[in-house]
Chains A and B, each alone.
Chain A
């Protein structure tokens, strides 16, 4: 079975399983709403849902862009000044492994309901996959090619631009599959803690109000966003690499 058919089958299976679960589980619609009810919520509350979705997407995109700038900058800096690695690595290891939900709580207490804690959480989620992949990609440069460029008296910048960056590009593209989808997740989690806007806030509100129909509607929106982000990354990656004659990194 081709991957495309697999995805199609999954998309068709979800409503079927959902309808059957509603039919056979015998749970009230308050707990397990039928698809029709959820789609009615999606339609009737579309303006409100859309505005909250826009907030989450905005935070995710902004944090994601910031993470790109920081992670790329740091990866390149470490590559150019190897001595920095010994200083930076302990920080990245610690920050990466501290559960970011606890960091989110601390940030919320410290910074309140502002954009800053949400951006920081999104950056923390996106930063490390990009940093790790780009660093790995820069190290994957062909040493024979570097030797060739050295005999041509290439400058450090030329070696980076002509050999190291092209080697890192497939790894950088692969990082987006994790980082871009992660940015949506990061933004929603950040909104959970303290927010008055966004899908995370809607989830909390729907839970406290026992609005399972709205909770399912938000889940659908968040899932579509995350899967859409993943699909977009794959499409852009394939197209960019195809133009450069490179196979995407696995």
Chain B
């Protein structure tokens, strides 16, 4: 079976002699949740942008569902959510979700309402972004990325700007959403706990140049949200990933 995402020997050079990514190869299976983790400047977001069709590799190829990322975008198979919610200030929560459908040429307002209702925002449909909390804004943002039923969800530190407690709640919420959709997902994160809770595999990136240092599979049974996130097995998985991450990051920082 063709992987959902195929990165083959991808190099992204921003200036001559500066490779943000060098010869990165990674396959992501359909329905798999993969997290990208690593020190700042290791090229996580660059790799994510290449997969989402927002940038092009200098060398190598990126394929999404057998075609170029741009083709996948044209088929409306990609949904993205960034750290800063990409919401239009003059549109309500519902209006922002509908914006995705308007661009995609669909008019399923009921689906947008239902999705926001599922996300616990049923009473906030008519609120403008500035009237929502950070966590609510991010839920609207993820609803915007999901409402057109993409096959690939791309998340760039979606909870990075939230406080610790909200972040934990939102991570568990996202785990629940993913359990229901089983969507192919690529997540950029700095949080080891977040990566373990959500991922099937965690890709640790090294920097200067950015390349895959190690891929750590997470074999914990699902669902992982709720009480299972405080079991010894979960804590061991977190400890293991953290030690692998330290080993990679520590090489460049004696």
Contacts and interface: CB of A to CB of B under 8 A. Distances in A.
B177 interface: no
Interface of B: 52-54, 70, 73-74, 76, 78-80, 82, 84-92, 99-100, 102-104, 128-131, 144-145, 148, 154
A246 B88 CA distance: 10
B92 A152 contact: no
B103 A158 contact: yes
Given A162-B88, A163-B88, A150 B144 contact: no
A96 interface: no
A246 B89 contact: yes
B144 A166 contact: no
B84 A152 contact: no
Given A150-B54, A152-B76, A152-B148, 5 more contacts: A142-B84, A144-B84, A148-B80, A245-B89, A245-B131
Nearest to B90: A244
Contacts of A163: 88
A163 B88 CA distance: 7
B184 to A, nearest CB: 15
A95 interface: no
Contacts of B99: 162
Interface string A146-169: 011111111000100011001001
B86 A245 contact: no
A154 B154 CA distance: 17
A158 B144 CA distance: 16
A172 to B, nearest CB: 13
A149 B54 CA distance: 10
Contacts, number: 69
A247 B130 CA distance: 10
A153 B54 CA distance: 11
A111 interface: no
B144 to A, nearest CB: 7
A150 B103 CA distance: 10
Which interface residue of A145, A149, A244 has the most chain B CB atoms within 10 A?
A145
A201 to B, nearest CB: 44
Interface in A211-233: none
Nearest to B81: A148
Given A158-B103, A162-B99, A162-B102, A151 B89 contact: no
A151 B131 CA distance: 26
5 contacts: A144-B82, A147-B52, A151-B80, A245-B90, A245-B129
B135 to A, nearest CB: 18
Contacts of B78: 151-152
Contact of B100 (A144, A152, A245, A247): A152
Given A151-B53, A151-B73, A162-B102, A142 B90 contact: no
A152 B103 contact: yes
Interface in A75-100: none
